[in-house]
A and B are shown apart, each in its own frame.
Chain A
Amino acid sequence: MTSEIEVMIQEIRRRGEEEAGKIIEEAKARAEKIIEEAKRKADVYIENMAKQEIITMRRRILGSAGLEGHRKVLMAKEKVISAVMEMASERLRRIVEGKDPEVDYRKVLHRLISEAVKAVGEPEVYVYANESDSRYIRRRLRAISKMVSEELEYKVKIRLAKQPIDCIGGVVVSNPDGTKTYYNTLDGKLNDAVRRFRSVLGRTLFKRVVEA
């Protein structure tokens, strides 16, 4: 009988310990679940809040860096184009002053006058030129009128405007009432040529340098 009681006591003890252990384990598992769930929720909040802020900040900072960098590249390109334009202007000045052996400026001037008179298309025109070209045109006015008339195959009376204009060379031609004007100055032609060359420079020289 004593040993039966002993067995019962052992069994009660075993079951009791087992139950106590189970209670603790279940509590631990529940605690872990509570903490994991809180962490998950917190991560979602944090990610949602930080993500939006970071996206906005990234767009702002990188956008501004890109713009600044792009502006620097544009400025460098403009610097190069200005240098090219300055070189071209310098050479045109030498040509106009007759210091360039490769180009006869008088022929160029004659052609510019002829083109402009043809474009205005009237029998009487006024020619505007810079001081030096005006002096030359004044001296050769009759010959120029004759030459242009022959070229255009109708008689043109060319008059020289009293006031010289400020330009490297070339002419501006108007009809007497000023309703038709054709600009054929070297400055204007230089600007047009540089404008055309901009795209060529972009496609060739700058592209090559950027990709180097």
Chain B
Amino acid sequence: MAEAIGRLIKEEARIAAMIEEAREKAKKIVEEAERKAREILDPKRIEEEVRRLVEEAEKRIRKEAEEIKARYQKVAERIESIPEEELRKIADRIVEEVVGS
């Protein structure tokens, strides 16, 4: 009987130690998460991330700007390539208006 109670007490002590160990481990898990959170919220990291996003956006926007310029350039080229004959007809209409014939 005394031996059995001794085993029981021993087991309880072992379990208490195991729970204590789990609490320690849990504390470390939370501390590690808090450390990671501080890292995530570090102003330098945020600034760096903002800069990276802005740089990426700038590349996209510059590409878009080139496309806009190219579209206008195409229009300008089309205007400049209006056949001379067509322009001459307009010039003749203007002359008719000027001389009143």
What is the interface of chain A, defined by CB distance below 8 A to chain B?
1-2, 5, 8-9, 12-13, 15-17, 19-21, 23-24, 26-28, 30-32, 34-35, 37-39, 41-42, 45-46, 49-50, 53-54, 57-58, 61-62, 64-66, 68-70, 72-73, 75-77, 79-80, 83-85, 87-88, 91-92, 95, 102-103, 105, 108, 111, 186, 189-190, 193-194, 196-197, 201, 205-206, 209-210, 212
Chain B residues 1 to 60 lying within 8 A of chain A, measured CB to CB, are 1, 4-5, 7-8, 11-12, 14-16, 18-19, 21-23, 25-27, 29-30, 32-34, 36-38, 40-41, 45-46, 49-50, 53-54, 57-58
Interface size class of B (residues with CB under 8 A): 35 or more
A105 and B101 CA atoms in complex are apart in Å by: 10
* Structural contact, B87 and A24, CB atoms closer than 8 A: no
**Pair B53/A88 contact, Cβ less than 8 Å:** no
B residues less than 8 Å from A41 (CB atoms): 41
- Count contacts between A and B, CB distance < 8 Å: 208
Q: For the complex, what is the distance from the CA of A16 to the CA of B81, rounded to whole Å?
A: 89
Quote the shortest CB–CB distance from A84 to chain B (angstroms).
5
* Cα–Cα distance between A76 and B76 once the two chains are bound (Å): 5
Residue among B21, B62, B92, B95 with the highest chain A CB neighbour number at 10 A: B95
Cross-chain pairs A/B with CB under 8 angstroms, 11 sampled: A1-B4, A16-B19, A24-B25, A37-B37, A42-B40, A46-B50, A69-B71, A84-B90, A88-B92, A206-B79, A210-B75
Main secondary structure on A side of the interface with B: helix
Closest Cβ of chain A: how far from B72's Cβ, in Å? 3
List of A residues within 8 angstroms of B68 by Cβ:
62, 65-66, 69
Interface centre among B33, B53, B71, B101 (most CB of A within 10 A): B33
- Evaluate contact between B30 and A34: CB separation under 8 angstroms: yes
A61 touches B80 (CB 8 A): no
Give the residues in chain A near B30, CB-CB below 8 Å.
27, 30-31, 34
Q: Closest approach, in angstroms, between the C-beta of A118 and any C-beta of chain B?
A: 14
